[in-house]
Structure formats: C-alpha cells, structure tokens
Amino acid sequence: MSSTFLGIEAAKRGLNANQVALNITGNNVANISSEGYTRQRVDTVSLAISGQSSRYALNQASLAGQGVTVRGISQIRDAFIDRRYRDEVSEQEYYQKSLDVMYDIESVLDEYNMSGLKGALSDLYTALSDLSMNADQTVNANIVLTAAKDITAILNNFSTKLNIVRSQQVENLATDINDVNTILKRISDLNYAINQEVFTNSINNAATASAYGPNELIDERSMLIDKLAAFANISVEQNPNGSVHIKLNGKTAVNGTEYHPLNLVRHDDESVSVMWLGTGETVSLKTGSLVASVAMINGRGPEATGRERYDKGIPYFIDVIDSFAENLMVELNNVIPVKNASTEGLTEYKMLFSAGGAEKVNAGNIIISDEWRNNPAFIIDDSVDADGNFDNTYIISALALFDKTLNFRGVEATFEEYVNYYNTTELGQLVTFLEGRLETSSSISNMLLDQRDSVSAVSLDEEGANLIQYQKAYNAIARVMTAFDEMLDILINRVGVVGR
C-alpha cells in the first residue's frame, strides 16, 4: 500500500510546476517588447520511481505516481536559422556599406543635379567659339579664362571632397573596429558569467547543467553576436561549459574568456589594413561592413598594386578625375604655339594650365598658369597682328580638342564622353548593382528574421493559450490536493471509531 502522503507530495509538485509555468508565461508576456528577448519554456518530466533492487524485489507499483519535476527553463531557439540569419546580415551589411560610400561618391561627381564638369566643358567650348568669331577679343578672352578657371575649380573640388570621403571612411572604420573590440570583450565577460552559473548548476544536477543556463545573460550574448555578424562573417560554436567559440573567417576571435581584439593600421600610401592586435596578421574577411570599408578605402580597380584592392572604390574614382585633369592639361598646353620662340627645332607651346609646382598633375593640383591668370589675353596675344587682325587658327584647334578621342587610362573617349562614362557606365552601374544586391539580401534577411521570430519571439496568442492551460491544471491539481485532504480526514478521524 502506498503512503497517503505520497499523493499529497505529488500534488504539491504539480502545484509548484504549474506555478513556475505561470511565472514563466507572465515573464514572456512582460518581455514581449524587450530587445533580444527569447521566449522561455518550462521543461517538465515525470518523477522517476525510486527504490532499491534487492534479492526479493518488491512490486514498484506502490511507488508510482510521484508527480512532476521541473527539469529547467529553456530558450526556444533554432541554431540553424540563427546561423543563416547572421550569414545573411553579414552580406547585407557588406552591400549597405559599399552602397553608402558609392552614394557619397555619387554626390561628389553629380552631373545631373548640379553644374558639373559637363556644364563647365560646355561653357568653355562656348567661350572659345565666341572668341573665334567675335571681334572683341579682349572681353571674350576674359570669358574663356573664367570658364577655364571654373573647370580647374570643379576638379579641385572633386579631389578635395573625394579625399574627405576617404578620410571619413577611415575614421568610420576605426570606430567600427573599436565597436567590434568592445563586443568581443563583452562576449568573453558573458562567457565567464554564464560558465559560472552553469558550474553552479552542475553541482546540483550534472545531467542538466549544459542544457540550462542563465537565459537573460544568454540573450544578451546572442544579441551581441548578431551585432558582430554585421561587421564580419562569423561562425559560432557552443562549448560544453556554456561559453561560445566565435571565429572570424576561421580565425578565433573569442573562445571562452579568451578574446583577440582587432587593430586598424594606416599605411603611408593612404591604404589601410585590419589586423589582429596580438599577432599583426591581416584579418581575412569575406563579408560584413569591415571588409566593405577596406574595399572602398583601398579599391583602385584594375590598376591596384600591393595592399590595394581590385574593387572600384574611392581611389579608383580619384584616378578617374586625375586622368581627366592630365588629359586636359596635356592637350590644351600643346595647342597654341609661342610666336618667335627661341627653342630651335622644337615647337614651344603656351602653358595654359599648371600643376602648381608638383611633378605630376592631378585633379587636386591643376590650376591656371601664372601667365594666363595674370593676362587673360595670353591665349591670343600672339594671334593679333600689328593692324589688330585676329588669327583664330589656334582657337579653332583648341575647339577641335573637344571632339578628339583621347586615352583616359585605357578608356577611349572625348572629354564629354568620358564624363558620361564614369557617371553612367561606371558609377551608375555600380550603384544599380549594389542597390539590387542589397534589396535581395535585405529581403532574405528579413524573411529569416521573420522565421526566427516565429520560433523565438513572444506570441500573445500562444502565451494566452498557455496561461489558460496552466491555470486549469493548477486548479485541477488543487482539487486533487483537496481530495487527499478528505482522505486523510477519514483516515485520521473516522477509521477505528466504530466499536469504541
């Protein structure tokens, strides 16, 4: 015969288990808006029959029905969806960062919403045309000089702004690396705290220590891992002690309490490298905002050498406008000869543009030559004879340069065609490509986030159903407890009373 108190203990355990379940349900509902919160669940098991086997085994039926026990509070997560979501977020952030930089470059080289090189070229062409036909050469020579100044000012402005974009991206990359290091350090701290909790649990129940941990700390760590995935492609492995092992493209970044910070190295050639602080090795990454930043800062396109990348980033578009400046100076500085030049056997031409004392001209240093800037008529003074007759031959030659096909570092085009090329073919197509990839990647990551939320997020409908279920179970078990109380009353107060 089983003990009467056995049933009471079983009922008590049932009340306790359903009370815990009600508490967890309430906790889920209370945290429905908490960032990073993962829905929790009470895992219960039937209490095993206890007893010792002996030479004369007893029937264990009398020990059955000992009730329920709470095995632990688990989180409802899907590791496969987590991994897919983080991989997709990493790719999404790669395209987002690349597109942000392209938008910055596009805003600098904008030929559609502001007066850019095409407009300035058109103004110079018009001014030269008027100069070739108009009798008032002095006024028109001033207009030509002003139009030429506008072109150099635009090129200087392009160069300055593109270098500012590059400097901003370097500073943003430094900030991102500091954020990554902060995340790595915090994850290692959480690994320690979670391990301590798991160790404490293992003293009481070694079988469940690895399965149940401090859920709130685990939520915080999971949220940090999600943020880390935006910076780089990562892999996450669970350690038996409750900590995690995180790798960046196969290299350990965090393992338990051990973590390896990153470092930004700025080189003399204006390129940058992301390296492991401890070893000085370059961090090799495939996706994420960090590698996108490096690609945009170091991307020189087909002419990349050394640490530079073949991506078409900021240096590539700096080279694009530098090439324009080189051809502009070379062509216009070889069109108007100096009259009665002393150089024997060689034609000496008027220097209309200068590199400002630098060895090589680029968009940042191209300026109007001192001779032309101080004398607007410098462009025509050798073309007017003593009687004031103007010979427009060389001005016509200058006009012909606008239709001449030139080599812009491998691109055969006129000045205007080249401006259209780098704005539409190069920059425009890059922006369109990145927008398309970002839209696709964002759609996939949002789909995966919805799938993860369907598993891990709190659902009011489900929690409401659970609330009713646990409440009814609690009430039913309370009624069982009442039944046992009535049995005890009969046993104690009535049994043996008859015949006294």
Asked whether residue 386 is domain-assigned, the answer is: no
For residue 30, being part of any structural domain is answered with yes
In this structure, are 429 and 467 located in the same domain?
A: no
pLDDT value at position 112?
Answer: 67
Asked if residue 405 is part of any domain, the answer here is no
Mean pLDDT, to the nearest integer, of 148-157? 94
Q: Specify if 374 maps to a domain.
A: no
Is residue 149 pLDDT above 70, yes or no? yes
Mean pLDDT, the chain, rounded, equals: 87
Does 68 share its domain with 94? no
Q: Which of 160-174, 239-253, 467-481 is the most confident on average?
A: 160-174
Whether residues 276 and 154 fall in one domain: yes
pTM over 0.75: yes
Give the tokens for residue 114.
């502001």
Same domain, 486 and 422: no
Residues 72-98 have a mean pLDDT of: 94
DSSP for 202-264, please give it.
HHH-TTTTTT---HHHHHHHHHHHHHHHHHS-EEEEE-TTS-EEEEETTEEEEETTEE--EEE
Predicted pLDDT of residue 49: 66
Contacts by 294-301 with C-beta closer than 8 Å and gap 24+? Answer: 294/173, 295/98, 296/97, 296/98, 296/101, 296/169, 297/166, 297/169, 297/170, 297/173, 297/271, 297/272, 298/271, 298/272
pLDDT digit string, tens, across residues 179-201:
999 999 999 999 999 988 865 55
In a domain, 245, yes or no: yes
Q: How many domains does the chain have?
A: 2
> Does pLDDT of 176 surpass 60?
yes
In the chain, the percentage of residues whose pLDDT exceeds 70 is 87
Calculate the CA dihedral of residues 319, 325, 328, 332 and round it to 10 degrees: -140
User: Are 54 and 89 contained in the same domain?
Assistant: no
Same domain, 159 and 174: yes
Is 378 a member of any domain? no
The DSSP bridge partners found for residue 407 are 412
So what's the pLDDT on residue 500? 54
Does residue 245 register a pLDDT over 60? Answer: yes
Residue 202 has pLDDT above 60, yes or no: no
Of 73-87, 234-248, 345-359, 374-388, least confident by mean pLDDT is 374-388
Are 244 and 229 contacting, i.e. CB atoms less than 8 angstroms apart?
no
- Higher model confidence: residue 183 or residue 424? 183
| Confidence grade of residue 209 (pLDDT, cut at 50, 70, 90) | very low
Q: Does some domain include residue 117?
A: yes
If you compute the radius of gyration of the chain from its CA atoms, what whole number of angstroms results?
39
- Weakest-pLDDT range from 80-89, 151-160, 320-329, 417-426: 417-426
Is 285 in the same domain as 159?
A: yes
Quick: pLDDT tens for 264-290: 999 998 999 999 998 999 999 999 999
Closest alpha carbon to 326 in 354, 289, 292: 354
Mean pLDDT of 49-67: 58
Q: Residues 65, 179: one domain?
A: no
Domain that holds residue 480: 4-76+458-493
Instruction: Decide if 470 is inside a domain.
Output: yes
DSSP state, residue 113:
S
Here the tokens at position 444 are 């996939």
Structure tokens at 353: 């543009």
Say if residue 74's pLDDT is above 60.
Answer: yes
Residue 139 has pLDDT above 90, yes or no: no
Q: Which pLDDT value is given to residue 55?
A: 53
What would the mean pLDDT of 156-160 be, rounded to a whole number? 95
Give the contacts of 338 (CB within 8 A, at least 6 positions apart).
348, 349, 350, 382
pLDDT at 114 over 70: no
Helix crossing, 79-108 with 289-298: angle to 10°? Answer: 30
pLDDT for 12: 85
Q: Do 50 and 164 fall within a single domain?
A: no
User: Residues 384-389: what's their mean pLDDT?
Assistant: 61
Residues 161 and 280 in one domain: yes
Q: Which amino acid is at 468?
A: I
pLDDT of residue 331: 94
pLDDT exceeds 70 at position 63? no
> Are 56 and 193 part of one and the same domain?
no
- Strand-strand pairing, 258-259 and 262-266: unpaired
Which pLDDT belongs to residue 206? 46
CA distance 229 to 85: 9
67 and 98 fall within a common domain: no
